[in-house]
């Protein structure tokens, strides 16, 4: 199913603003629709978890940003927060089921540690992947989804490739 990733991100952003008014959210996208073959509910679940994580790990008032970018055959959604970050030695393991950084400190935040494991398998099921870059003050989760050829700006349409 083809869906507009920009529209999907806007809907996730609206829901985030309603449920987390304590975290100002900025969304940056191009003006064009970004058509991706995806299951909207599943990708929405991924975005919701990444946005919730960003809010949970930053103090009230701290902005969160979302960006949609098209780059070399892929659509990227980048979610950035200004929280404490994820130490390098934990960056792979946060995608493991039930793994939570500093369990003692984060127990009161109530998560199960499943969100990123589920998000990663959902994104992989779309032929994509999730990338993580994090240092204190800047954590970026990037959801990378393969673009439909037909959705690539300037790609030849079928009527022109047909012989």
113 phi-psi bin (left φ>0, alpha ψ -120 to 50, beta other):
left
Sequence-ordered strand ranges (E) for 42-109: 64-71, 74-81
Q: Nearest distance from residue 106's CB to ligand ATP, in Å? A: 5
If the CB atoms of residues 41 and 161 are measured against ligand ATP, the closer one turns out to be 41
If the CB atoms of residues 83 and 128 are measured against ligand ATP, the closer one turns out to be 83
Q: Which does 81 bind (CB under 5 to 8 A by kind): ligand ATP, Mg ion, none?
A: ligand ATP
Q: Which does 142 bind (CB under 5 to 8 A by kind): Mg ion, ligand ATP, none?
A: none
Phi, psi at 43, each rounded to 5°: -70, -35
> Which positions lie near Mg ion, rule CB under 5 A?
49, 53, 111, 115
Residue closest to 55 by CA, chosen among 63, 47, 46: 63
Q: Nearest distance from residue 97's CB to Mg ion, in Å? A: 12
107 vs 78: CA distance, rounded Å: 26
H-helix segments, the chain: 5-19, 40-56, 103-106, 115-125, 158-161
If the CB atoms of residues 104 and 154 are measured against ligand ATP, the closer one turns out to be 104
> Which positions lie near ligand ATP, rule CB under 6 A?
49, 53-54, 57, 81, 83, 86, 94, 100-101, 106, 111-117, 139
Q: Nearest distance from residue 30's CB to ligand ATP, in Å? A: 25
């Amino acid at each position: 199913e083809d869906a507009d990733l920009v529209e999907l991100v806007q809907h996730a952003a609206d829901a985030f603003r309603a449920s987390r008014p304590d975290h100002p959210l900025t969304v940056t996208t191009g003006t064009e629709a970004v058509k991706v073959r995806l299951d909207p509910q599943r990708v929405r679940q991924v975005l919701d978890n990444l946005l919730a994580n960003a809010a949970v790990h930053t103090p009230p008032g701290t902005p969160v940003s979302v960006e949609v970018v098209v780059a070399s055959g892929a659509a990227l959604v980048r979610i950035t927060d200004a929280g404490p970050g994820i130490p390098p030695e934990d960056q792979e393991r946060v995608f493991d089921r039930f793994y939570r950084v500093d369990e003692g400190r984060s127990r009161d935040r109530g998560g199960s540690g499943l969100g990123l494991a589920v998000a990663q398998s959902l994104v992989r099921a779309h032929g994509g992947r999730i990338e993580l870059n994090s240092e204190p003050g800047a954590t970026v989760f990037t959801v990378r989804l393969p673009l439909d050829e037909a959705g690539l700006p300037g790609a030849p349409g079928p009527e022109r490739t047909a012989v």
